[in-house]
Structure 1
């Protein structure tokens, strides 16, 4: 069931006639063309994507720091690592301050491939000025292939959740904090959780929405 209240049931699919049984908004429509079912499913997906886009946009407006020193980066990275240990999460944690890598830790279960994911997601944040999750959500909501649309190599850019811009009030983006190893929404959520704690510890900022 999507947020629009549209439910899709494709369990009765007549492959010979290329029709399906669709249930839309509680009303059953038999013999609906598969194309119509797919269109309805895309509507649900787009609705969910728009909701997620709104939520992530609000997170980016909320999570603005008053300062971001090397010690702040250490605190943030240490907290992320602590959460990963407590929950036994196989993640790599990475923090950049400008172009400098100021924190990096890898938990059991990760591989060098996670480092590649980190690099690719970080590049998206620095190029587009938004979290890698938000950039990817917007592309999917538009039905676009992110890499093809922007003519960017898959080996260098990944609009996949987990990299979040570090913003400082009155300055803008000064770094990136990244998690790799979980489903993209979970990578993103872990970063948001730890960053929110750091924001709260620093106190209010006039730049927060």
Structure 2
């Protein structure tokens, strides 16, 4: 989660160009706000970012090593919570800073690579994993360059945001734990199923972001009269 206003409903709306958060997002924001209190406030935000990456590395280890995908699910959920807490703690403690935002962004991209590796360990074809991760990198690079060009906020909230990616991989791990044989109807394993799902969501999300960028970036010069 970017370290900008976003620890409450109003802050989230300001960050997302006035978009009102859904009931699910409001619930998530309240949970993060409740957790970002007490002893948690003493933890440096950068440590929370790095710990989130470590949780995803642990998820990869339990899938690729002993082959226990059910253990990956709570680790992926924990990574998502930590991804929200780092920004919330930085804001509440006044420790939000540009370097912290860079650390957070780098941690997010490493986390995305680890999510792709989890799907690969679950049996996803490498080509689909590469396609899914490439779309993520394009999505975030487009947003970053558009913000540098003057786009306010995030330009557009797409279906391919980081929480969706975490959910997709958690569902793949959960499915592999509950039904190791995969989907009997399609004959696909869980890694392949959700790598394809991630790729499809990524295509839609990239298209949504392109539309948002086109609408959000101010013209360099005023139109001629």
If the length of structure 1 is used for normalisation, what is the TM-score? 0.30
Higher strand share: 1
Higher helix share: 2
